[in-house]
Structure 1
Amino acid sequence: MASASQPPIVTVADFLADPVSAANFPQAILRFRNDRAARTVGLAGLDDDAWIAQFGRFRPLADNLPAPLALRYHGHQFRAYNPDLGDGRGFTFAQLRDDRGRWLDLGTKGSGTTPYSRFGDGRLTLKGGVREVLATEMLEALGVHTSKSFSLIETGEALQRNDEPSPTRSAVLVRLSHGHIRIGSFQRLAALGLTDELDRLVRYTLETLYGEPAGDAPALHLLGHVIDRTARLAASYMAAGFVHGVLNSDNINVTGESFDYGPWRFTPFWDPDFTAAYFDHHGLYAFGRQAQAIHWDVVQLAIALSKLTDIEGLATLLDGFPAAYEQAHARAMLSRLGVAPRGDEQDLPLVAAIEAGLSTRTVGIDRFFFDWSGGRRRAGPYDRTYAEHFAPLERLLADYAETRPADHPYWSDLDPCTMPIEEVEAIWSAIDRDDDWQPFHDKINAIRRMGEAHRWPS
């Protein structure tokens, strides 16, 4: 067992991960530090030099992991099973309790090669780091359970990439996550026949990440949690208008937390076929198919857990995913709208009316939720559109109570805060061309202001 001075991951590290070392970067230029997140784990008091030593040079945190750990896992990638996976450019650097008593990981992206790097260089482009910070900040502001971009440090290397102009600048990102245990972590143990270790990982996940005793049927207990959490994750993506892009089973965290942002996009309109990844030729992970994709991944978890328990009990739980998603979807849509739910069945007509109006693609998702915040339509340039396509919604909303006070100045703005791909590219262009970070920091401030206005429940 872990001692008082050891994080709990050491109890499973012998079969889950390999000790590794961070790369020795030629430079360490601090570009972003998330003091808001750092306060939750007691690290906001670090000055910039100490911050760089911890998250650019990876000096071990006191009473924590003596060496970083690169996790091992398998996974289905676009439905093809791949046993040659693992943390190829990242590692778990530390585990800390937050101000809610949860164990959280500090994990990296771009920190150097590991035994799982295969032919990669273990690095991260600065553009990729900038994009991940923007994604996580926006999703957090929109109420999605997401990892937090904790630190971004430019590392002074010139990287060659096939999918963007090269050479390009490099960075190392640190994210704060509610665990890094993936569905693929369980798939690996099941595929290798390591049933004792599989059972230990189930119990670790329940006891450490969910804070609950494993009980008499831990595999069933865990699957029930994952179904609930991932259904909520899929629903929150839809309410946010977000497309993750790569919902492979190695990218699904069993705590239901969204993480690992590559070709993400926000869809401008309610378009079920909108895709984020240029290589997703068949739209497997399109906007409207994300719940189906995540459900499929959870089925793979159940298959792995069948090494420990009866498949019939797992199958019964899996049958509940569609209903769990439908309920979570209604709650997510009403939460973003800022009205109190009346009950699962009663809320479905309202959600259907929202989607019917948005499906006409006459108004963007962000614009709609901004104009209808609190369930009362504001007058403006979309009056004719709303009268024509959203009349049923207006009638239904008469029975709903507002949950979001309208006194925040954000709701008096002319336009909502959005994240179109063109703005992401413009922010990066200012950095790449002129080393101008002001648009990046201005955008983060604008996003956080929007998040404050939404007043999400904790």
Structure 2
Amino acid sequence: MPYKPQSEPGKTAYQPDVQITQLGEKIGDPVASADFPCHILRFRNDRWDQSVGLDSLDQQGWIDHFGRFEPLPDNLDRPLALRYHGHQFRNYNPDIGDGRGFLFAQLRDHEQRLMDLATKGSGTTPWSRTGDGRLTLKGAVREILATEMLEALGVNTSKTFSVVETGEKLQRGDEPSPTRSAVMTRLSHGHIRIGTFQRIAYEQNEGLMRDLVRYCLEQYYGGVQTDEPATELFAKVAQEVAKLAGSYMTAGFVHGVLNTDNINITGESFDYGPWRFTPYWEPGFTAAYFDHDGLYCFARQPEALHWNLAQFASALRLIAESDPLVATLEAFPKAYGTAFTEHFCWRLGVRSEGFEEDRKLVVAAETGLAEKTVQIDQFFFDWGKTESLALPKDDSTEFSEFRALIASRSRSREPVSKYWDNPVPCSMHIEEVELIWSAIADDENWNPLQQKVQDIRAMGAALRNG
């Protein structure tokens, strides 16, 4: 079936709905926000604030809730720093959890999905270890750019909801220090990670494991449908993670830190640290300077996500039989292949013709892209705006098979948006990220960031609607 991106945010009333507390006190620890020296609103998501009924907040009210973290009405009285474990670069770590963030509120969106408002950089928690619990302003700006770009490219991602500069000077080893500080709030469809299940398995808490499985099915997957809820949940999560893997590849995106504590059980991408978009179809392209072995490089991301699912299955073995979990793991490569080809066709703007035919088209495109004569974004842009798919783009040989295959395809959208009139595609490579940050750091010029967000959203509208 053809890939369908998430619908545009709609408008709704504020609908608080705290569900996390039904899991008891062992799911997280009540904490308080840091007391910041100042609060300067730098980013407010004026698309997604309406989707959870918070668009009517004035600037002072926004800062009160997303800078000082005064509770939202009828919501969590105190934020919760959630507990979890995780494999970090495949080394198990039982000493982690929400170390510089917390779950601030839960509420329903315009589609009645349960949504979490959670923070990054809001101060220390019991899980901070030696960290200061803070976030650099540059890190917040990078997360704005990552989430906006991924959303436009049809990737299931958290939304950067708010960024407030906080006036502290932070010391960091990977940035010129001291550097500016911020607190960020993200809007996510859930805040439960594979690592959450790993912690519960580590503690051998069967009761909490059953409760968490049921919670996830009821809150994120429409309810319990079988008499084996753990295997049911695993199958649903695996399907969504396969879609995530496929969309990462089509977007040319490299997350950088695909540890089990960074994998949401809704299949929603989140927590952007050393991310990058690879300009060319380069399998070994890495995002994290500390990923010396390329564990999470561009081409290995599907493998990494598959491996993480195996750790999820291992945790669920506390209450589930092995055979159905193994069967789901064995089906993952096919699920990923289907998701990848469907998403690839969506970004190209052509109709899916079934896995086998789509696979031929995608393999031909990959073969041409691997020659690195054209960047990924340029490739999709050129073919996306072509009036007739039967027209050859050029006489080069690397895409000859692709041109022959795509000529018979029908369009899934017509390139009517003004976006297609641009001379070059909207991209998000590291050089531009650094230029956007330099304008802020050197000249206090926020215009390049604001303009880039507008450009990204225009591209997203064009990919959804033509």
Query: If the length of structure 2 is used for normalisation, what is the TM-score?
Result: 0.95
Which residue number in structure 2 is paired with residue 453 of structure 1? 462
Answer whether contact 1:141 1:447 (CA < 8 A) is retained.
yes
Which residue number in structure 2 is paired with residue 116 of structure 1? 127
| Residue 214 of structure 1, CA deviation | 5.3
**Aligned partner letter, 1:162:** G
| Residue 376 of structure 1, CA deviation | 5.6
| Residue 406 of structure 1, CA deviation | 1.0
Distance 2:230 2:244 in 1: 21
Q: 1:5 to 1:390 in 2, by over 3 A?
A: closer
**Aligned partner letter, 2:411:** E
Match of 1:169 among 180, 193, 212: 180
Q: 1:387 to 1:337 in 2, by over 3 A?
A: same
Answer whether contact 1:76 1:249 (CA < 8 A) is retained.
yes
Distance 1:399 1:446 in 2: 31
Which residue number in structure 1 is paired with residue 199 of structure 2? 188
Does 2:263 align with 1:252?
yes
Does 2:123 align with 1:94?
no
Which residue number in structure 2 is paired with residue 444 of structure 1? 453
Answer whether contact 1:339 1:374 (CA < 8 A) is retained.
no
Which residue number in structure 1 is paired with residue 12 of structure 2? none
Residues 172-223 of structure 1: per-residue CA shift (max 9 Å, x gap)? 0000000010000000000111111011100000001222225311011000
Which residue number in structure 2 is paired with residue 397 of structure 1? 406
Which residue number in structure 2 is paired with residue 426 of structure 1? 435
Answer whether contact 1:73 1:85 (CA < 8 A) is retained.
yes
Does 2:383 align with 1:372?
yes
Answer whether contact 1:339 1:375 (CA < 8 A) is retained.
no
Which residue number in structure 2 is paired with residue 362 of structure 1? 373
Residues 87-112 of structure 1: per-residue CA shift (max 9 Å, x gap)? 00000000010000100000000000
**What SS class does the counterpart of residue 360 from structure 1 fall into?**
coil
Residues 211-266 of structure 1: per-residue CA shift (max 9 Å, x gap)? 22253110110000111000000100000000000000000000000000000000
**Aligned partner letter, 1:129:** A
Distance 2:389 2:382 in 1: 5
Query: What does 1:45-56 align with in structure 2 at a 5 Å threshold?
Result: 45-56=56-67
Residues 302-327 of structure 1: per-residue CA shift (max 9 Å, x gap)? 00001111111111111100000000
Match of 2:189 among 169, 178, 194: 178
Residues 282-318 of structure 1: per-residue CA shift (max 9 Å, x gap)? 0000000000000000000000001111111111111
Q: 1:13 to 1:170 in 2, by over 3 A?
A: farther
Does 2:338 align with 1:289?
no
| Greater mean alpha carbon deviation, residues 342-351 or residues 135-144 | 342-351
Query: If the length of structure 1 is used for normalisation, what is the TM-score?
Result: 0.96
Query: What does 1:223-242 align with in structure 2 at a 5 Å threshold?
Result: 223-242=234-253
Residues 378-432 of structure 1: per-residue CA shift (max 9 Å, x gap)? 999x954x63211111111122110112110011111000011011001101101
| Residue 349 of structure 1, CA deviation | 0.5
Q: How many equivalent residue pairs?
A: 452
Distance 2:405 2:465 in 1: 23
Which residue number in structure 1 is paired with residue 316 of structure 2? 305
Distance 1:82 1:214 in 2: 33
Which residue number in structure 2 is paired with residue 151 of structure 1? 162
Residues 101-125 of structure 1: per-residue CA shift (max 9 Å, x gap)? 1000000000000000000000000
Answer whether contact 2:75 2:106 (CA < 8 A) is retained.
yes
**What SS class does the counterpart of residue 285 from structure 1 fall into?**
coil
**What SS class does the counterpart of residue 86 from structure 1 fall into?**
coil
Residues 38-61 of structure 1: per-residue CA shift (max 9 Å, x gap)? 111000111111100010000100
Match of 1:408 among 414, 417, 436: 417
Match of 1:73 among 75, 84, 99: 84
Distance 1:418 1:305 in 2: 40
**What SS class does the counterpart of residue 73 from structure 1 fall into?**
coil
Answer whether contact 1:427 1:440 (CA < 8 A) is retained.
yes
Q: 1:189 to 1:341 in 2, by over 3 A?
A: same
**Aligned partner letter, 1:54:** H
Q: 1:214 to 1:70 in 2, by over 3 A?
A: farther
Q: After the TM superposition, list the runs of 4 or more consecutive aligned residues in structure 1 that deviate by more than 6 angstroms.
A: 377-380
**Aligned partner letter, 1:421:** I
Query: What does 1:286-365 align with in structure 2 at a 5 Å threshold?
Result: 286-365=297-376
Gaps of at least 5 residues in structure 1 are none
Gaps of at least 5 residues in structure 2 are 1-14
Q: 1:379 to 1:321 in 2, by over 3 A?
A: closer
Answer whether contact 1:27 1:154 (CA < 8 A) is retained.
yes
Which residue number in structure 2 is paired with residue 127 of structure 1? 138
Q: 1:5 to 1:250 in 2, by over 3 A?
A: closer
Q: 1:377 to 1:357 in 2, by over 3 A?
A: farther
Distance 1:353 1:389 in 2: 9
Which residue number in structure 1 is paired with residue 286 of structure 2? 275
Distance 1:211 1:112 in 2: 34
Does 2:34 align with 1:33?
no
